[in-house]
Amino acid sequence: MENNKKNALLRTENLKEYFKISGKGYLHAVDNISLEIMPNETLGLVGESGCGKSTVGNTLMRLLKPTNGKIFYKGEDITNPSKKKKLELTKKMQMVFQDPYSSLNPRKTIRSILSEPFLINKAASGIELEEKVNALAKRVGLEEYVLGQFPHELDGGKRQMVGIARALAMNPEFIVCDEPVSALDVSVQATIINLLIDMQKEMKLSYLFISHDLSVVRHISDRVAVMYLGQIVEIAKTDTIFSNTLHPYSVALLSAVPKIQFGQEEERIVLTGDVPSPMNPKPGCRFAPRCWMACEECKNKDQHLAEVEDGHYVACMRWREVREKTAGQAWKKGIEVEHE
Ligand SMILES: Nc1ncnc2c1ncn2[C@@H]1O[C@H](COP(=O)(O)OP(=O)(O)OP(=O)(O)O)[C@@H](O)[C@H]1O
């Protein structure tokens, strides 16, 4: 753990992001998250809609000012960076969005869009700029003619390639990929995922990979963090989290992963019970009202992430019983199971 902290590319310490909702109080979108992302690592971030995944990504990118807690980049506190530092960090930390369309200026050609990072950072001009943009497009597999086109002339896959190329322009070290394939046809999802994997190998990138698609997350991630109502409830190596799932919420979420080949049709995950509100949460385990393992104590006592096995952290005091109850279940061994 200490070693991870020291060597992490990016690290958060008790990160909180609360939104003030007038007349109602505070919405705890991210509530006390401490995590590390190592160099050249992909950390998958999963959880139901609204659990706070994008808010984690946006806060790491400092698109939001943290309510509390700290963010460190290579050991340096970047929670409140100066303007100069912010610009420096923009080169090293980038974001790939679900649909880059909204962030691609419709009146500009792809060449002009891909030139921007070089111009803003005064990294190239004239012929050199042209060559750099050509090389960037080639790197992500965009044909040269695309550079003369406008965003609306491209299909979703090509637009996402432009989004990725733009993120890569300044040779970043860390990229938040926020649902980068969920708006794409299944047929092009694999192309984009493979591109991200290739770029990671080539450029030694680290990714925070946010997705509700567990098959994709399983395919791309080195480790997976499971989020529930603003908190991380379990984090472990990808194989471990699927084969030795210890939090009752992760069990509910991950046991529903269809055992299909990546890239094919997906199945939706349905959890029963009401999702409690992230507004002014009550003390006690947040999953307790929906939990199949909950006892009286869980309802009153906060659960904190604890390392229960090497590199495997769980926020549930009943993790041993969860393991016993789910031992030998088909989904843990990768066998297809029926879901309601
Ligand atoms: N700017 C904001 N102001 C108020 N509430 C917000 C704001 N942004 C997000 N939220 C709320 O914070 C919570 C977490 O939202 P967030 O988008 O991070 O979840 P998510 O897990 O990424 O969901 P999804 O998978 O649907 O994108 C939600 O309850 C959301 O409504």
CA 201/CA 169 separation, integer angstroms: 16
Mutate which of 28, 45, 46, 53 for ligand 1 pocket (most atoms within 8 A of beta carbon): 53
Is there a contact between 36 and 11 (Cβ–Cβ < 8 Å)? yes
Residues 246 and 322 sit within 8 Å (Cβ to Cβ): yes
- Please give the pLDDT value at position 325: 83
Higher pLDDT, residue 195 or 275: 195
The mean pLDDT of 178-189, rounded to a whole number, is: 91
What pLDDT, on the 0 to 100 scale, is given for residue 104? 87
Is 332 close to ligand 1, i.e. is its CB under 6 Å away? Answer: no
3-state secondary structure of 180: coil
Ligand 1 atom with the smallest distance to the CA of 21 is 4
Please state, in angstroms and rounded to a whole number, the distance separating the CA atoms of residues 200 and 222: 12
What confidence tens digit (pLDDT) does each residue in 202-237 have?
999 999 999 988 889 999 999 999 999 999 999 999
At 131 the pLDDT is 97
ipTM above 0.95, yes or no: yes
Please indicate whether residue 219, judged by its CB atom, sits closer than 6 Å to ligand 1. no
Maximal CA-CA distance, the chain: 69
Instruction: Report residue 213 as tokens.
Output: 């698609």
pLDDT > 90 in the chain, percent: 70
* Cβ of 28 below 6 Å from ligand 1: no
* pLDDT for the residue numbered 56: 98
Q: Is 51 in the pocket of ligand 1 (CB under 6 A)?
A: yes
pTM of the full structure: 0.91
**Ligand 1 center–CA 20 separation, angstroms:** 13
Nearest atom, ligand 1, residue 19 CA:
4
Which SS3 state, helix, strand or coil, does residue 320 take? helix
Cα–Cα nearest to 338, from 235, 259, 246: 259
Q: Is the dihedral of CA 252, 253, 258, 261 positive or negative?
A: negative
- pLDDT at residue 77 above 90? yes
Q: Nearest CA to 103 among 113, 94, 88?
A: 113
pLDDT-based confidence at residue 260 (cuts at 50, 70, 90): very low
pLDDT score of 264: 41
Report the mean per-residue pLDDT for the chain.
Answer: 88
27-67 per-position pLDDT tens digit: 999 999 999 999 999 999 999 889 999 999 999 999 999 99
pLDDT tens-place string over residues 163-175: 999 999 999 999 9
Structural domains in the chain?
2-333 (3.40.50.300)
